[in-house]
Amino acid sequence: MAIPVYPIEKFNCSNTLEIKDFEIHRLEDLLRSLDGVVFPHRHAFYNILYITQGQGTHAIDFQDYEVHPERLFFVSDGQVHAWDLSPDTQGFSLFFRGDFIEPYCEDSLYDFPFFHSAYRLPLLQLESIPFQSEIQHLFQHLYIENSNPSKYRLKILRSFLYILLVKLNEHYEQKAGQKLRPTSEVFRKYERMVSDYFLEKRAVAEYADSLNVTSNYLNTLTNKAVGKTAKAIINDRLMTEAKRLLINSERTVSEIAYALNFKDTSYFSRFFKKQEGLSAEEFRRKKTDLFEKYT
């Protein structure tokens, strides 16, 4: 099975050819307009899904999460996701490209723990009624301003989006409490570098050199941040990409091993089974069967 990669324009309910960096829809409207959208799929943008009513399941990178009212889901650029939602589901779905917001705020999207991390939950449950109201108002403001013809529209959207991200980040950190370990700037840079260069660089020392730290110090930082060695973070990124390719394409295991720059298929097969406890083919069969419920 081949999982498509969709640009943000695919989810333009107005069906225009306009190229956009930002979209927001009421979820109930979006669900009615998804003709031709295949699940599971990958995004070439960021997505925040805010559920105000409904039940179901949302799968993000092969992990299933329950859908509940007042729950938000965060899907990063490149992730595979699918959902199975009850007919009465309502809420908002917000889409944006990274360069829509990053050049205009002091934070990188990598600084928000619910994006771009295999070590944080990509969801947030809103339990405080005042905070639920505050977040719902921010989504409503974004929804209204997105249709505003004012020349200040983009500035207003960026401002509200940044406020939304910071508010959600504050609440995410408060809820995580001691579970959310502190991360240093060096660790965040390392995680981003691994995401960008894992195909070319497999040695921790290469990253440590680029970050002007020792390998031992980098290991200390990664253990403090997520309880894993620096090498384990490289391996985790490789495994995520291997799983995406196994589910996202009809390539053979040998072709995937080659695409991931393994020296031979047998080495990739041993690596995959050691990390996952299943062979690559067993994983493909298991997850393909699991994703059938979303198609």
Q: What is the pLDDT of residues 227-262, one digit of tens each?
A: 899 999 999 999 988 988 887 778 899 999 999 999
pLDDT at 44: 85
Question: Residue 167 belongs to a domain with what CATH number?
Answer: 2.60.120.280
**Does residue 7 have a cis peptide bond before it, meaning omega lies within 30 degrees of 0?**
no
- How distant, in Å, are the alpha carbons of 25, 34, 96, 137, 168 from that of 142? 10, 21, 12, 9, 15
Last residue of a domain, one of 158, 178, 198: 178
Domain tally for the chain? 2
Residues 239 and 262 both lie in one domain: yes
Residue that is last in its domain, among 114, 145, 178: 178
**263 shares a domain with 204:** yes
Please check whether residue 13 is in contact with residue 79, taking contact to mean a CB–CB distance below 8 angstroms.
Answer: no
Which residues, 6+ apart, have CB-to-CB distance to 79 below 8 Å? 42, 43, 60, 61
Mean of pLDDT values over 104-130: 88
At 166 the pLDDT is 95
pLDDT at 15 exceeding the cut of 80: no
- Which range marks the domain in which residue 215 is found? 185-294
pLDDT at 17: 42
Do 105 and 14 sit in the same domain of this protein? yes
Residues 143 and 282 in one domain: no
User: Is the domain of 141 the same as that of 218?
Assistant: no
pTM, entire model: 0.82
pLDDT tens column, 202-220: 999 999 999 999 999 999 9
Could you tell me if 67 and 170 lie in one domain? Answer: yes
* 209 and 146 together in one domain: no
Structure tokens at 244: 């995406």
- Statement: residue 294 has pLDDT above 70: no
The reply to whether 190 and 173 lie within a common domain is no
Task: Read off the CATH number of the domain in which 259 is found.
Answer: 1.10.10.60
69/138 same-domain check: yes
* pLDDT tens-digit readout, 34-43: 876 777 788 8
